[in-house]
Amino acid sequence: MALHFQGSLMIRAPRDKVWAFLVDPQAVSKCLPDVQRLEVQEEGTFKAVVRVGVGFIRGDFAFDVAMTDLQAPTHAVLTGRGGGLGTAVDVRSALDLADGEGGTTRLDWKADVVVSGTIASVGARVLSSTVEKKTGELFECLKAQLEG
């Protein structure tokens, strides 16, 4: 099952500050819902264990994540591959930052997710609503961290 998500948000913080936060796995992990463990590998790569709950399926998923195509402070791509509970997940997301008015930063993002196995069986609607909820939590936390 292939899913696509995208959005934009304005952050009341300068672009360099937003960039520094987004490319710091330790900082971002504080905003990622249900992260159980994060282990930074070499520069730009890390391993994460995330608790996942979609419908009646709940458990831990292990992911290998890489930050690529870093064009400071305007563009980054994150790719992740992992799974658990009989499910495989591949994610590719792109982040683009631009200066907004009055020292704000516009963050445009998009993510393509391919899910196969057990979780794919719960259906696109249930999976999409879960991802959208968790994405909303991530961006609310990110704004709070950067604007606070």
Task: Check residue 30 and give its pLDDT.
Answer: 92
Domain count, the chain: 1
Find out whether 63 and 86 touch, Cβ atoms under 8 Å: no
Average pLDDT over residues 53-69: 91
pLDDT class for 70, splitting at 50, 70, 90?
Answer: very high
Side-chain-side CA neighbours of 60 within 13 Å: the count stands at 8
Of 24-28, 103-107, 127-131, give the lowest mean pLDDT range: 127-131
Nearest CA among 11, 30, 131, 132 for reference residue 73:
11
- Report residue 133 as tokens: 């909820």
Specify the CATH number for the domain of residue 40. 3.30.530.20
Q: Which residues pair with residue 40 across a beta bridge?
A: 46
Q: What is the mean predicted confidence (pLDDT) over 115-132? A: 86
Name the residue range of residue 101's domain.
Answer: 2-147
Q: Which of 55, 82, 78 is nearest to 68 (CA)?
A: 78
Distances (CA, A) of 131 to 107, 108, 125: 18, 17, 10
The 10s digit of each residue's pLDDT in 9-57 is: 999 999 999 999 999 999 999 998 889 999 999 889 999 999 988 878 8
Give the rounded distance of the alpha carbon of 67 from its chain centre.
11
Report helix angle 124-147 to 15-22, nearest 10.
130
Q: What is the mean pLDDT of residues 83-112?
A: 96
The DSSP element (H or E) to which 140 belongs, if any, is: helix 124-147
